[in-house]
Chains A and B, each alone.
Chain A
Amino acid sequence: EPEVTQTPSHQVTQMGQEVILRCVPISNHLYFYWYRQILGQKVEFLVSFYNNEISEKSEIFDDQFSVERPDGSNFTLKIRSTKLEDSAMYFCASSDERWAFFGQGTRLTVV
């Protein structure tokens, strides 16, 4: 069964450092997303990506965040200068016309 894969599963970084979270979406999907879940809180939408550009983003997705699909298979989320409050589970998802399938998540810990 096709699945969304994310690497790494856990990333620890120092405050102020840049991190790149990687995702391989399901191959025939056209829409790609990043969500995050801060511990104990709800899953929150960050950004959606379609046709090689950002199609929608939330107010969480500020200038510190960027997304890229550099080679047609990987989908990355970059946080330029991490803050303590960026610590969360980050979920990548992809969808065809309707259902979003999620990866296992990357736990980002900013220290």
Chain B
Amino acid sequence: DQQVKQNSPSLSVQEGRISILNCDYTNSMFDYFLWYKKYPAEGPTFLISISSIKDKNEDGRFTVFLNKSAKHLSLHIVPSQPGDSAVYFCAASRMNNAGNMLTFGGGTRLMVKP
């Protein structure tokens, strides 16, 4: 039961260009969507989030877009930098009495080439 899917296991981008990472979900009960960044041998680090009632959230070089009708979100990184090279996980959140349980996608490995 893959409620959150990232269909591209990897993405390679030239430094300075835009990176677009995509994520699809199936459960319309999710109320927040988050992106986490993960380096090898480290835990996921929170990057940016978006509420299900919004369609865009921007934070510096990072922008997340949400298309609820298509159940699709994307993370845009502009301009991409070599330090952005990492695995990016999309996660969906359903706040209930259990707290903020996250359902993760499979991750996309981003490689930014100098």
Which A residues are within 8 Å of any B CB, using their own CB?
A: 4, 6, 30-31, 33, 35, 41-45, 48, 50, 55-56, 91, 93, 95, 97-105, 107
Contacts and interface: CB of A to CB of B under 8 A. Distances in A.
Q: Is the interface of B mostly helix, strand, loop or mixed?
A: strand
A73 B60 CA distance: 35
Given A31-B99, A48-B98, A48-B99, A99 B46 contact: yes
A43 B102 CA distance: 10
A50 B99 contact: yes
Contacts of A50: 97-99
A55 B12 CA distance: 40
B43 A102 contact: yes
Nearest to B97: A55
Contact of B99 (A43, A55, A103, A107): A55
* Residue with the greatest number of chain A CB neighbours at <10 A, chosen from B49, B99, B102: B99
Contacts of A99: 34, 46, 49, 100
Contacts of B101: 33, 45, 48, 56
Interface residues of B, number: 25
Contacts, number: 70
B62 to A, nearest CB: 15
A55 B100 CA distance: 11
Contact of A45 (B34, B103, B105): B103
Contacts of A33: 99, 101-102
B93 interface: yes
A100 B43 contact: no
8 contacts: A30-B99, A35-B104, A45-B102, A48-B101, A98-B95, A104-B42, A104-B43, A107-B41
A105 B41 contact: yes
Contacts of B44: 43, 91, 102
Nearest to B106: A42
Interface in B12-43: 32, 34, 36, 41-43
Nearest to B100: A95
A48 B36 CA distance: 19
